[in-house]
Amino acid sequence: MDQVELKNNSSLELKNHAGKQWMSAPTTVVTNLNPVQKPFVAAGVFAAIILFISILNAASIKHGVLFILGIALGMTLLHARFGFTSAFRRFASVGNGQGLQAHMLMLAVATTLFATILSTGFSFFGATPSASVAPVGVSVIVGSFLFGIGMQLGNGCASGTLYSLGGGQSSMILTLLAFIAGSTLGAYHFAFWMEETPALQPFSLAESTGLGYGGAWVVQMALFALIYWITLQIAKKKNAPMMKALPTTTGFKKILRGSWPLFAAAIVLALLNALTLTIKGSPWGITSGFALWGGKALMAMGIDVTSWGYFATDKNLAALKSTVLSDSTSVMNFGIMLGAFISAALQGTFKPGKVKPGVAGAAIVGGILMGYGARLAFGCNIGAYFGGIASFSLHGWVWAIMAMLGTGAALFIRPLFGLKNPKSTDSVC
């Protein structure tokens, strides 16, 4: 056997190994875990009980249930370290598609549940379920591109900012504050982007095509399968490094103490979003709460925002004048942070640290870009990408493409702030 044949056989074996590895790559590994941080767990549970009671007094049982759903979302996100930012970055930089594959599973399950809910009108608390379908225009294209850059600089998307902050990542305080500022600025400019820039009418694959929810479901399942297959092929071709496996344990202790497999979390997130649709009447969203918090802060400082186009609607105007505990999105956001905090304490990983100047600068710039971009794009990685695609909205697919392009651009910007990108030579990413 000559050297050329040996080399070809070695390359073939390497490709076969990479293929098998990508078909069965675990995202968790059983190992010793940190001790439970019992004082933090107690504090988190106590805070959750007090806030739950306060929500019931200020609003309704529906809002209390949404708060509990938020806690469940926060726990799920943290236990799996379920990322949107990291998934886009790994794929754009080294071709690792594990995160995007989990997204496709999540979207497939959510699409199936949404189709059933929206076609039958099934709901709780008398809410009429409504799909998240928005126009596609310049605002969505620009906004989602900016969001893609921002989430890579801020090291977290909308959901990532909330659960990472709850989990003890100190820089996320800056990201969240900047996110709120950017959302408020986006609300101020909202009328311009909606009225002065071109856009198509809202387009639903189910309702704008004659396919109905059954036909649209078939089309989206095919798209999810195609994207899943493409990510596998790219990962094999690039021999992309695997995600670092997260520490976990065995048995029922895994539910509260250990990390969860990425695909399991994807299914749970889809179920929780579907529940949100049946209870709230609309899919899970995050960033409208940030705009509301910013608007309330300005009102408290004597600045009247009620004339802004974004806040001029009856719904948003009523939210400005009511307690934040009666805002469905806000109570879910509070729940996400608390759920992540309790989960981090159960895992023994709640350990805030110092923030480097470069990371701080990136967090602020990234937060502003995400906040502004989310207002323009009718949502973030949750409201536009997750909720939009599950609702069969074209704007959700456009958001995904533009956010990925924004991620690609951000890979050249991140080093300016001292942030590292995954490399093909890394053992894990």
Span 57-66, pLDDT tens digits = 999 999 999 9
248-306 pLDDT tens trace: 999 999 999 999 999 999 999 999 999 999 999 999 999 999 999 999 999 999 999 99
User: Please, which pLDDT band fits residue 26 given cuts at 50, 70 and 90?
Assistant: confident
pLDDT at 14: 41
Beta bridge partners of 170: none
Asked if 305 contacts 40 with a C-beta cutoff of 8 angstroms, the reply is: no
**Lookup result for tokens 């749970």:** 268
Amino acid at 14: L
Asked if 183 contacts 290 with a C-beta cutoff of 8 angstroms, the reply is: yes
User: Please, which pLDDT band fits residue 25 given cuts at 50, 70 and 90?
Assistant: confident
> Token pair of 216, please?
């649209």
Question: Residue 13: inside a domain, yes or no?
Answer: no
Total domain count, the chain: 1
Question: Residue 6: inside a domain, yes or no?
Answer: no
d(CA 201, CA 207): 12
> What's the DSSP call for residue 29?
E
Question: Residue 345: inside a domain, yes or no?
Answer: yes
Between 134 and 17, where is the model more confident?
Answer: 134
* Mean pLDDT value of segment 114-120: 97
Asked if 369 contacts 142 with a C-beta cutoff of 8 angstroms, the reply is: no
In 204-321, beta strands by DSSP E = 246-248
Closest alpha carbon to 309 in 155, 429, 139, 176:
139
Amino acid at 245: A
pLDDT at 24: 54
3-state secondary structure of 30: strand
Amino acid at 346: L
Question: Residue 427: inside a domain, yes or no?
Answer: no
263-272 pLDDT tens trace: 999 999 999 9
Mean pLDDT for the chain overall: 94
d(CA 30, CA 64): 35
Question: Residue 178: inside a domain, yes or no?
Answer: yes
Count of alpha carbons within 13 angstroms of residue 91, beta-carbon side = 27
pTM over 0.75: yes
46-79 pLDDT tens trace: 999 999 999 999 999 999 999 999 999 999 999 9
Beta bridge partners of 248: 30
Question: Residue 28: inside a domain, yes or no?
Answer: no
Question: Residue 25: inside a domain, yes or no?
Answer: no
pLDDT of residue 83 exceeding 50, the answer is yes
Q: 374 — alpha (psi -120 to 50), left (phi > 0) or beta?
A: alpha
C-alpha 127: how far from chain center: 24
User: Please, which pLDDT band fits residue 423 given cuts at 50, 70 and 90?
Assistant: very high
Measured CA to CA in angstroms, residue 196 lies from 106, 159, 311 at distances of 36, 30, 18
**Lookup result for tokens 């990425």:** 262
> What's the DSSP call for residue 202?
P
Q: Where are the alpha helices (DSSP H) in 239-261?
A: 253-256
pLDDT of residue 158 exceeding 80, the answer is yes
Task: Count Cβ atoms within 10 A of the Cβ of residue 345 and give its class: 0-12 exposed, 13-18 middle, 19 or more buried.
Answer: buried
pLDDT at 7: 43
pLDDT at 291: 98
Our CA dihedral for 368, 168, 254, 256, rounded to 10 degrees, sits at -100
* Mean pLDDT value of segment 13-23: 47
* Mean pLDDT value of segment 365-374: 98
3-state secondary structure of 246: strand
pLDDT at 318: 94
d(CA 412, CA 406): 10
Measured CA to CA in angstroms, residue 398 lies from 208, 261, 403 at distances of 16, 28, 8
Measured CA to CA in angstroms, residue 64 lies from 166, 261, 280, 335 at distances of 19, 29, 11, 10
Question: Residue 369: inside a domain, yes or no?
Answer: yes
Phi, psi of 412 (to 5 degrees): -85, -20
pLDDT at 126: 87
Phi, psi of 401 (to 5 degrees): -65, -45
C-alpha 164: how far from chain center: 12
Q: Quote the domain boundaries for residue 123.
A: 35-241+255-417
Asked if 286 contacts 327 with a C-beta cutoff of 8 angstroms, the reply is: no
Count of Cβ atoms closer than 10 Å to residue 46 Cβ: 10
pLDDT at 429: 86
Q: 81 — alpha (psi -120 to 50), left (phi > 0) or beta?
A: left
